[in-house]
Structure 1
Amino acid sequence: MCRNIRVLHNFEPPATDDEIEAAAIQYVRKVSGTTRPSAANAEAFDEAIRAVTAATRTLLDSLVTNAPPRDREVEAAKAKARAAERYGHRPATSG
């Protein structure tokens, strides 16, 4: 139904508002069990996204770490390697 929510803490540059909102949308979709709410639930859905976005920004701004900031490209390469190991290499098929 939805993608995994990604780690947003301790990156350089810091998580953008768009990344935080995307994570909030994924969270609300997962919790609600729907990707698109009905018209009757749209306002509640949108308010939940706003609240989760704000809470996430507050959390990220408040967290303290001594670890060096992570690099998005390095983390993406690690994730790709884990996925390749988990799911195996799929040979291309010819048509």
Structure 2
Amino acid sequence: MCRSIQTLFNLDPVATDEEVAAAALQYVRKLSGSAKPSKANQEAFDKAVEAVAAATRELLDSLVTAAPPRDREEEAAKAKARSAARFGTA
């Protein structure tokens, strides 16, 4: 899928509405193949982002797990290490 969409489930603290909206935007951009829609498609694009964000929030609020919440700082450090291994350090 899209590398810039982050896992939002089971984080401490929980995913914010801004994070959910950002993930929804990236998802709709990926599906539409457009980072910025034309004026003619802007309304449909915005509606899709809102619908995906609402569905994402509903999903996140419905999921359950017995695993302890993941620490955001640890997850960020892991992502940075993966990036360094993949692209090298400059």
CA distance in 2, matches of 1:40, 1:77: 41
Equivalent position of 2:43 in the other structure: 43
Q: Which residue of 1 aligns with 2:61?
A: 61
Residue type matched to 1:64 in 2?
V
Task: Determine what percentage of the aligned residue pairs are the same residue.
Answer: 67
- Write the letter of the residue equivalent to 2:54: A
The answer as to whether partners of 1:12 and 1:70 remain within 8 angstroms in 2 is: yes
Partner of 2:21: 21
- After the TM superposition, which parts of structure 1 deviate over 6 Å for at least 4 consecutive aligned residues? none
Question: Whole-Å Cα distance in 2 between the matches of residues 35 and 85 of structure 1?
Answer: 28
**1:6-60 deviations in whole A, cap 9, x for unaligned?**
0000001100000000000000001001111111101100000000000000000
The aligned length equals 89
Structure 2 stretches lacking a partner, 5+ long: none
| Aligned counterpart, 1:10 | 10
Provide the rounded CA distance (Å) in 1 between the counterparts of 2:48 and 2:34: 13
TM-score for the superposition, normalised by structure 1: 0.89
- Give the CA deviation at 1:89: 2.4
Q: List runs of 5+ in structure 1 lacking aligned partners.
A: 91-95
Is the radius of gyration larger for structure 1 or structure 2? 1
2:58 alignment partner, SS class? helix
Q: Which is richer in strand?
A: 2
- Provide TM-score, normalisation by structure 2: 0.94
